[in-house]
Chains A and B, each alone.
Chain A
Amino acid sequence: MAEQKMVNLTIEGRQVSVPDGTTILEAAKTAGILIPHYCYHPGLPVAGVCRMCLVEVEKAPKLAPACASTVVEGQVVHVHTDKALDARKGVLEMLLINHPLDCPICDQSGECELQDYTYQEGRADSRYREPKRFNPAEDFGGDVIYVPNRCILCTRCVRFMDDIAHDPVLNVSERGDRALIGKFEGRDMTHPWAANVVDLCPVGALLSKDFLNKARAWELDRAASICPNCTQGCNVMMETRENQIVRMRPRPNEEVNAFFMCDWGRLNYRWMNEKDRVEQPMVRNGSGLAAATWEQAISAAARVLSGKKVFVAASAMLSNESLFLLTQLMQGGSGAFRVQEGEEAPLAGVKDLALRRERAANVYGAETLGFKKTKDLLGGLGQGDALVVAGEDLADIDASALSRAGTVVVISSVLPESARSAAVVLPIANFSEEEGTVTNLRGRVQRFTQARQAPGETRPSWLVLGDLLGALGKQSNFFLPSEVFAKLASTHKSFAGLSYDSIGFKGLPVVDAPSNGQNAPVAVGAR
């Protein structure tokens, strides 16, 4: 690749050096300066219409829109001069003259850029004395509701549907102050990625039906995570209120999901909130499964597994760490997993981004670690072998196959009906309740953190498995998931050289990832 020409300029007194062709707005970001903006979004083509990002460029006769002006060598840019502030104050006042100011009942309140910038730079009052325009709210189909009175016509939603989803179902209708976002009667936002417009909307004009009136933004706790619902591994924020996940939203990662996530993944979070959990370790006694302490349960499990060839029926929702520890448990046995499938749904405007056919977070990791992907989950279970059910729900599993097992240990969040004959049940946290890594379909190892607290006496899977290995007399001394990962990295060549620190929150490919991550997706920017 040819050497990129760099351009040097000064923004707010700071020296900035950026590649030729960079916009002033993006250049300012590199210096830690946020130029207020609405219509600009790094994942969308530039529109330059909100006129909020006006900045003063020395020797230029007019204020320049930072989003649509590329840097020039030696340029001196001022973001906070009186002239620029006055222009932005003007834009804010104009955006608010017809705005209902219904923040107390608006879902966006607390995470609204109109609120934020108005507090930051706007007027304290309005000089508008005329009647405000009114348009009724409209159901746009899919997960989306449109409240035109709050709309600032930034057109991010229209550009997303046109240029990223390649499904132009939205338009700007009418013109002048009558303009609003429109759609065609009977043509809804049914595109599998349509709900991204809700995230993109900088104000409360596009709302999620799913999230409607569920929480105020400031009541939410947020955890950086990975969407567990397919092998793409979109980076997300899991947002909880009162320990319940109420929303998943994409977290930008240009290598994986750009700024987006699909509707299916986004809305498929309720399973992580389910209440039908095993909350206590259990050990079988004469009359059935009985509550036990963790110490009792771990030693009971070690006792029944000791010296046995172990077959692990795993879930591909488990982390690399847990799957790795499970391989340590096999004692000459093997493991397998199943994966739910659905229709693939790509996002046309972003390279290599799709809701994938395989609907689990860690298929790549499971296969890399030696688990066999199969439809016949227990096919590898030998007569009399010990069976460890790890996160698998055993749905539709033939009871006769299960009866081949000499003993059954369940390490799961939920106790499968068919595994009620288990010798020991060890309750573990689900995906949202623990920390770990998963490997996406392109071999990218990505960290996820704990979003909610696990119920009852439930423990993280890596901790339970570590303790169990210790009880079996194997070397095990893990206090943190990062230590498990370090062990994995030193054991398995694919993970060699990786650590939690180096992976960070954008992920890194495994050593032998297909084409070494070079096929990473890139958001389609300006056409």
Chain B
Amino acid sequence: MGFPHQPHPRETTVLSKYFGDADARTLDGWKKRGGYKALEKALGMAPADIVNVVKESGLRGRGGAGFPTGLKWSFMKPGDGKPHYLCCNADESEPGTFKDRELMRWTPHALVEGCAIGAYAIGAETAYIYIRGEFTEPLYWMEKAVKEAYAAGIIGKNAMGSGKRIDVHVHKGAGAYICGEETALMNSLEGRRGNPRIKPPFPAVSGVFGMPTTINNVETLIAAAPILLNGADWYKKMCLSNPKSTGTKLFSVCGNVVRPGTYEVVMGFPFREFLYDLCGGPLHGRKFKAVIPGGASVPIQTMDEAEATLMDYEGFVEKGSMLGSGGVIVIDDAQPMVTVIARIARFFAHESCAQCTQCREGTAWTTKILERIRDGEGTMEDLDTLMDIAEQMTGKTICVLSDSCAVPVVSGINKFRNEFEALIQGRRFHPVNAAVA
């Protein structure tokens, strides 16, 4: 629901129903709200059946890539004699995204339950919830919930009396955006620098501690519980547009908008109504100029594109962007685009793990040029150079952080070139710099 605001009638609150409800944070409160019924049901099912239900539901990864969850789970081969691991990616660091934070601090037990279901489904006895270090409040509530769940025998040696061992541990990150990348997360969990790994091997073959591993986003795991309780059909029917995108999705909205917050809508919801009705539209006297709909690493949309978008995986791609993590950054006409984009580039330059050349050097170089243009010291050649660097940073590195930095630059220059040019042309001719350039 439109937390921290009143829920909007057009929202469909499945996962966000209890945001702001302090009682739902406790074990008793959670149970009163139907908590752990899904886990109980799951433990009575064969793991393969759980995987099938999730497959059937059409649930796709909510972290950004949108990979079908059931399919991902089915990669974990039962009975291979190796310990399996479930990692919950709670390293929510994509600028503009804060939905997992709300999920964890308001419904921590939902995540414990989701982890336990996921672990059981993939044959893992251990699940790690990797939470970014800055999330002190979610960490606090998650640790408390895990402790309560252990004390109540819901997880542990004999989870809910099923005879199955399911351990859930909270692991605290220490400040690194890149640890949200699944292989970097595994490295970090192992006590290494958060460097992404080369794939293959894929995590399902050799993941954390070299063992078969599945990594799921917080929202994905939490969604598994209602799917199990209500059935795949119930979930699949929640779909307003493309049948490949099902269920509800949390969108966290921020930037220059009247009601920033976390909203839950059914996949395929019209983005225009979302922005103007649910989120309250632009601030007084301002106009929307652009939207970055899926966290800082997806292409920027013009308002024409955004207003024609249906909010699902395919819908955003159709209109020049991506659903990503569902972090909607709204930019109004008071914001200079060059400044916005330069700041995004600086973020990626700060977070590059330093492994791949194009990323280590390219993110910093891009930032320096953009900041120079921002400060009125740019040249027209800089725009070509930026586009060329972006090309070098796309599709050539171990992970996509480098691509993520290039994306807003390319879409920004393509869609808001006039703003770049105005800054460049407003610069007075300066013989010293002209000699350099």
* Direct interface between A and B, CB < 8 A: yes
B360 touches A179 (CB 8 A): yes
List which A49-94 residues lie within 8 A (CB) of chain B. Answer: 49-52, 54, 61-63, 65, 68, 87, 90-91, 93-94
A176 touches B364 (CB 8 A): yes
**Residue on B with the closest CB to A98?**
B361
**Residue on A with the closest CB to B353?**
A175
B395 touches A62 (CB 8 A): yes
List which B360-404 residues lie within 8 A (CB) of chain A. Answer: 360-365, 368-369, 372, 381, 385, 388-389, 391-392, 395-398
Contact of B358 among A51, A68, A130, A178 (CB under 8 A): A51
**Residue on A with the closest CB to B368?**
A130
A48 on interface, CB distance cutoff 8 Å: yes
Closest 6 CB pairs of A and B: A90-B392, A179-B354, A177-B364, A94-B361, A130-B368, A49-B355
Distance in Å: Cβ of A201 to nearest Cβ of chain B: 16
B354 touches A94 (CB 8 A): no
List which B40-77 residues lie within 8 A (CB) of chain A. Answer: none
Contacts of A152 in B (CB 8 A): 357
Complex CA gap A76/B230 in Å reads 50
B354 touches A128 (CB 8 A): no
B361 touches A51 (CB 8 A): no
B365 touches A91 (CB 8 A): no
Q: Which of B145-153, B165-173, B291-299, B344-352 contacts A (4 or more CB under 8 A)?
A: B344-352
Distance in Å: Cβ of B177 to nearest Cβ of chain A: 10
B contact residues, total (Cβ < 8 Å): 34
A130 touches B396 (CB 8 A): no
Contacts of B365 in A (CB 8 A): 94, 97, 128, 130
A48-B198, A94-B362, A127-B381 given; 13 more Cβ-contact pairs under 8 Å: A51-B357, A54-B396, A63-B395, A95-B361, A97-B361, A127-B388, A176-B352, A176-B360, A177-B352, A177-B354, A177-B363, A177-B364, A179-B354
A50 touches B357 (CB 8 A): yes
B193 touches A130 (CB 8 A): no
Contacts of B363 in A (CB 8 A): 176-177
B356 on interface, CB distance cutoff 8 Å: yes
Contacts of B362 in A (CB 8 A): 94
A87 touches B357 (CB 8 A): no
Contact of A87 among B350, B372, B396 (CB under 8 A): B396
Complex CA gap A212/B357 in Å reads 28
A174 on interface, CB distance cutoff 8 Å: yes
B436 touches A51 (CB 8 A): no
Contacts of B350 in A (CB 8 A): 176
Beyond A63-B396, A94-B365, A128-B365, is A177–B349 a contact (Cβ under 8 Å)? Answer: yes
Complex CA gap A130/B379 in Å reads 13
A contact residues, total (Cβ < 8 Å): 34
B contact set with A: CB distance below 8 Å = 176, 193, 198, 349-358, 360-365, 368-369, 372, 381, 385, 388-389, 391-392, 395-398, 436-437
Contact of B357 among A49, A68, A130 (CB under 8 A): A49
Complex CA gap A370/B352 in Å reads 64
A127 touches B357 (CB 8 A): no
Complex CA gap A54/B381 in Å reads 27
Contacts of B352 in A (CB 8 A): 175-177
- Residue of B361, B365, B397 with most partner-chain A CB within 10 A: B361
Complex CA gap A175/B349 in Å reads 9
> How would residues 149 to 177 of chain A score, 1 for a CB under 8 Å from any chain B CB and 0 otherwise?
00011000000000000000000101111
B354 touches A52 (CB 8 A): no
Distance in Å: Cβ of A481 to nearest Cβ of chain B: 48
> How would residues 89 to 125 of chain A score, 1 for a CB under 8 Å from any chain B CB and 0 otherwise?
0110111011000000000000000000000000000
A129 on interface, CB distance cutoff 8 Å: yes
Complex CA gap A176/B198 in Å reads 18
Beyond A68-B198, A94-B357, is A51–B364 a contact (Cβ under 8 Å)? Answer: no
A130 touches B369 (CB 8 A): yes
Distance in Å: Cβ of B199 to nearest Cβ of chain A: 10
List which A171-229 residues lie within 8 A (CB) of chain B. Answer: 172, 174-179
B396 touches A172 (CB 8 A): no
Beyond A97-B365, A130-B369, A177-B352, is A153–B360 a contact (Cβ under 8 Å)? Answer: yes
